Amino acid sequence: MTVLRKSGFGILALLGSIGLSLLVSPQARAQQDSSVLFQNVRIFDGKNGELSAPSNVLVRNNKVEKISTATITTDAQVIAGGGRVLMPGLIDAHWHAMLVRPTPASALANDVGYTNLLAAAEATATLMRGFTTVRDMGGPSFSLKRAIDEGLVVGPRIYPSGAMITITGGHGDFRQLSELPRTVGGMLSRMERIGGSMVADSPDEVRLRAREQLMQGASQVKLTAGGGVASPHSPLDVSTFTEPELHAAVEAAENWGTYVAVHAYTPVAIQRSIAAGVKCIEHGHLMDEATARLMAEKGIWLSTQPFVDLSGASALGPAELDKMRQVVAGTDRVYGFAKEYKLKTAFGTDILFSQALAEKQGAMLTTLTRWYTPAEALIMATSTNAELLGMSGPRNPYPGKLGVVEEGALADLLLVDGNPIDNIKLIEDPAKNFVVIMKGGKVYKNLLVGDRSK
């Protein structure tokens, strides 16, 4: 019996040591020891419109360790830049990772396993377009984020909001009329069970739903404070949450050290949100000058999108198409206010229900040159967007510097075959022009392997 006990303890100890070793996969151990040297690159650092002199950049583990115009001696893997431009990975501040490829109907009807597989495929495509980070503004992306972070799926960093919080009939309420009346405390609808949207019709319900998203790992909380384009029961002009309801979400988020962002187009929806303590307005295309002035005075972020045509509206019905026309008509105005009042402005795409449109993610970025210089547009999509991400405070899932190429920053890097400041259209063809894509110090694409021409 004594022998058995000793043997049992020995087996347990052995299994314990094996289990501990399995916590760090071979890929993870290799990544911890990895280093890459980019030789002879011109750097766009994400903050300045000028390229650096020819430089060398050493990446060790997941960060930029050293940048020098002098030779760096190391045993690292060498990537010969050949004078190409090294820049930060792009950031999309308004993305819906789970809602790009399905249709509205299939997003509700599909098995959630299939929906996650669709989203995983799109996540890989997103990273291969050079977007190394996205701020997810509504949808059940927590498991996808976990799979990416654990190396099971290739994709961008995700700052998740979790379910959009809406009111009965508000933007994000995709229930059928047959699902009414809603019983408070009763059975959840399909869209709520899968984590797409949550209906909340009082401050207490808002507080509960916000806390649920934070419990699951939300880095920020998303509410829909006004009407929207795609939702079937939501006129564009309506204001939805009351100020006490909005404040309940703000209080819950601030208790967790983070912030609330709201979908809002109209002056009333925006101003009510600001009064409640909201820190970031999504969209804002129908704002007026007084609202823009208020945002500037209060230091409120504007996260908006360059909607300049109806190219992404093919799946919309007549009523939704009319709402989209109103939004497009307001795009020049919102960017005009952003520039005039120097609003803190983030870039996002808000692509929904269209894989084909997602393939033009980079082209939407280049559309910013209608109002900004190429350098300003690229700065917005890198260091400025990273500043917005930093508002998550202790809920930031990726502490460290993003959106810049500097010593100590996280190594999310693109090597571009050409100069995107001179020709921002290079961003539109990432398959050809992004010859190296790195996230967290790991190379996910390298077209220069075996290239001896440069």
> DSSP readout, 77-116?
EEEE-TTPEEEEPEEEEEE-TTSSSS-HHHHHHS-HHHHH
- Sign, CA dihedral 104-106-110-116, equals negative
How far is residue 8's CA from residue 3's CA, in Å, rounded to a whole number?
8
pLDDT score for 309: 87
**Which ranges in the chain are annotated with CATH 3.20.20.140?**
90-371
* pLDDT exceeds cutoff 90 at 107: no
C-alpha closest to that of 132 among 447, 448, 434: 434
| Position 314 confidence tier, pLDDT thresholds 50, 70, 90 | low
pLDDT score for 285: 97
* pLDDT exceeds cutoff 80 at 167: yes
* pLDDT exceeds cutoff 90 at 293: yes
pLDDT score for 271: 98
Is 141 within 8 Å of 156 (Cβ atoms)? no
* pLDDT exceeds cutoff 80 at 186: no
Most confident of the following: 2-16, 26-40, 328-342: 328-342
Give the position of tokens 């430089």.
55
Is 366 within 8 Å of 377 (Cβ atoms)? yes
* pLDDT exceeds cutoff 70 at 324: yes
Percent of the chain with pLDDT over 70: 91
pLDDT score for 315: 67
Is 320 within 8 Å of 277 (Cβ atoms)? no
* pLDDT exceeds cutoff 90 at 415: yes
Least confident of 120-124, 150-154, 191-195, 436-440: 191-195
> Helix axis angle, 331-340 relative to 289-298, nearest 10°?
40
Contacts for 414 with CB less than 8 Å, ≥ 6 apart: 86, 87, 88, 89, 90, 130, 132, 434, 436, 437, 438
Classify 28-88+403-446 by CATH class.
mainly beta
Least confident of 98-112, 239-253, 310-324: 310-324
* pLDDT exceeds cutoff 80 at 227: yes
* pLDDT exceeds cutoff 70 at 178: yes
Question: Cβ of 2: how many Cβ atoms within 10 Å?
Answer: 6
SS3 446: strand
pLDDT score for 34: 81
pLDDT score for 312: 66
- DSSP per-residue letters across 131-178: EEEEEE-SSS-HHHHHHHHTTSS---EEEE--SEEE-TTSTT----GG
- DSSP per-residue letters across 227-238: --SS-TT--TT-
pTM for this predicted structure: 0.90
Contacts for 6 with CB less than 8 Å, ≥ 6 apart: none
**Which ranges in the chain are annotated with CATH 2.30.40.10?**
28-88+403-446
pLDDT score for 31: 44
How far is residue 135's CA from residue 92's CA, in Å, rounded to a whole number?
6
Tokens linked to 69: 């115009």
Computed over its alpha carbons, how large is the radius of gyration of the chain? 23
pLDDT score for 233: 85
Beta strand pairing call for 55-60 and 35-43 = antiparallel
Over range 148-162, report the average pLDDT. Answer: 97
Least confident of 59-63, 160-164, 172-176, 260-264: 172-176
pLDDT score for 108: 82
Is 413 within 8 Å of 405 (Cβ atoms)? yes
pLDDT score for 25: 39
| Position 33 confidence tier, pLDDT thresholds 50, 70, 90 | very low
Domain 90-371, architecture per CATH = Alpha-Beta Barrel (3.20)
> Helix axis angle, 267-276 relative to 243-255, nearest 10°?
50
| Position 57 confidence tier, pLDDT thresholds 50, 70, 90 | very high
Over range 169-196, report the average pLDDT. Answer: 82
Percent of the chain with pLDDT over 90: 75
* H or E element that contains 212: helix 203-216
